[in-house]
Amino acid sequence: MNNKYIGHASQIYGVEEVRLVGTKGDGMRILNVKNAKGLCFSVSADRAADISRISFKGDNYGYFAPCGYVSPAYFDDKGEGFLKSFTAGFMTTCGLTAVGDPCTDNGEDLPLHGTISHIPAENIYHYIEDDKIHIKAVVKDAALFSHQLVLEREYICPIYENVIQMIDKIKNVGAKETPFEILYHCNIGYPLLSENAKVKIPASKVLPRNEHAASDILNCLKMHEPQADYEEMCFYHEMSGETTVSIFNPDIKKGLNMHYDADSLKCFTEWKMLGEYDYVLGLEPGNCYPDGRDVMREKGILEFLKPGEERNYKITFEFTESEN
């Protein structure tokens, strides 16, 4: 940047790596990113290079769970122990061999939402090129006598555009075919999420997860104020081709558009959890639904990666001040 008004580019944009001090997040590496147009976000290097926080021109977009930042050292992989360290944040990656309900599949005990989100990046770095901020990370999900999957992730954020492009490559570097599940658990929070938020999901068909969700399926895209003793609802939206899922809140005059290929990420889950203090809307593209790997196998949805095989995904997050 050639600007005689500033002493360092970080006055306007850049990446700063910090470490958290205290509580269960002590020692975690965080990459704080900002561009020159009002977009700020944090990448959690020790939690699969997921995005923990995002704000756009001063307004928060994501949901932060009561546990806050939690180091992988505290991960409990028994049953629903995942919830003790589920920071949520703007995006948590679920997988890579299990997503959804704890279950036993093919003789293997699987925890809620898998393990990838609690694995630190083995390598993470950033650079700026052609007016774009790049963050690259490598995360390995592997075990002896078991699966060996590698996630290569890149974020690209233009300095002068309010967009984040996330590009993932997942490869089986082992010698065995392995089940492969992934779900991008994107969590929308207040003030982007409120009773006045408008959600658009261009589905050709919507299915409820259970009878409870079925009872309110006609209002699946309608938000409301926080309610006591609210029971979560999940809705499965069927889409195809290049698609855009969006949320816009006229109260703050800001919104989010998620662009992705629904043919490669064929399953989309809407997680509606509008309880008091647990006030969050999950917009979750994936290659499976969160019912447990055993159920996906029974339904014929479960995917596998052969040795050397890979999958590639791209999601573009667009931050707007106008309704889509």
What domain range is 59 assigned to?
Answer: 9-320
- For the cut 80, the answer to whether the pLDDT of residue 279 exceeds it is yes
- Residue 161 in any domain: the answer is yes
- Residue 255 in any domain: the answer is yes
Q: How far apart are CA 85 and CA 219, in angstroms?
A: 31
Nearest CA among 254, 229, 227 for reference residue 162: 254
Would you put residue 90 in left (φ > 0), alpha (ψ -120 to 50) or beta?
alpha
- For the cut 90, the answer to whether the pLDDT of residue 3 exceeds it is no
Please report, for the domain that includes residue 259, its CATH number: 2.70.98.10
- Residue 239 in any domain: the answer is yes
Q: pLDDT tens across 178-196, in order?
A: 999 999 999 999 999 999 9
Give the CA radius of gyration of the chain.
Answer: 19
- Residue 4 in any domain: the answer is no
The CA-based angle 222-224-225, given to 5 degrees, is: 165
Q: How far apart are CA 24 and CA 74, in angstroms?
A: 8
Look at the chain and report how many structural domains it folds into: 1
Q: How far apart are CA 251 and CA 193, in angstroms?
A: 10
- Residue 1 in any domain: the answer is no
- Residue 16 in any domain: the answer is yes
- For the cut 80, the answer to whether the pLDDT of residue 146 exceeds it is yes
Residue 1 has what pLDDT? 67
Q: How far apart are CA 193 and CA 268, in angstroms?
A: 19
Q: How far apart are CA 105 and CA 318, in angstroms?
A: 37
* Strand ranges inside 90-177, DSSP E: 91-96, 103-105, 108-110, 123-129, 132-142, 148-158, 163-172
